[in-house]
Amino acid sequence: MIRTLSLAAVAALGLASVTVAQEGPTPEQQAVNARQSHMTLYAHNLGKLGAMAQGNAEYNAETATAAAASLHHLVQLDQSGYWLEGTSSEQMEESRALPALWQNLEDAGAKHEALMTAVENLQSTAGTDLASLQAALGGVGQACGACHENYRVPQN
């Protein structure tokens, strides 16, 4: 019995040592994970609004207002840690950010400012009625697309 417990303890310590020895994600991997998670949250909220705008879901002022408010919070978050040098699609397979982004940071920043303005407009109108939501959502789509056209690898 004692021998069995001793063997189990040695095995557990060995597994713990292997677990401790494994490295966590690099700062670059953390940055890519963070920005992809951020974009997923954008998509989640835009999906709700888009479904209403396209008639695939019934317009609901409360849901539209909440999703627009969430987007507003998201665009306000500090993203500086998401865009580390060395995290473009050329350096990291899981990244879809083109190297051009780092070569044009001023333009990318201006595009983010345009997104912030479009989301502010969306937030102020999304709960009004369907037509207002549709009009404001178009502006957000254009702002998103302006950045993605120049700075993101297209999906297959």
pLDDT tens string 63-81:
999 999 999 999 999 999 9
Q: Is residue 4 part of a domain?
A: no
Residues near 86 by beta carbon (within 8 Å), at least 6 away in sequence = 28, 92
9 occurs within a structural domain: no
The Cα–Cα gap between 148 and 19 comes to 39
Does residue 47 form part of some domain?
Answer: yes
- Report the Cα 29 to chain-centroid distance in Å: 14
Under-50 pLDDT residues of the chain: 5
Q: Quick one: which of 67, 56, 85 has its CA closest to 137? A: 67
104 is a domain residue: yes
**Residue 123: its pLDDT value, please?**
98
What pLDDT was estimated at residue 1? 56
Q: How many structural domains does the chain have? A: 1
Q: Does residue 10 form part of some domain?
A: no
d(CA 44, CA 50): 10
CA distance linking residue 1 with residue 136, whole number of Å: 71
Q: What residue numbers does the annotated binding site cover? A: 144, 147-148
In a domain, 8, yes or no: no
**Residue range of the domain that includes 55:** 27-151
Instruction: Answer whether residue 92 is part of any domain.
Output: yes
* pLDDT of 8: 55
Residue 87 lies in a domain: yes
Residue numbering of the annotated binding site for heme c? 144, 147-148
pTM of the model: 0.82
CATH code: domain of residue 115: 1.20.120.10
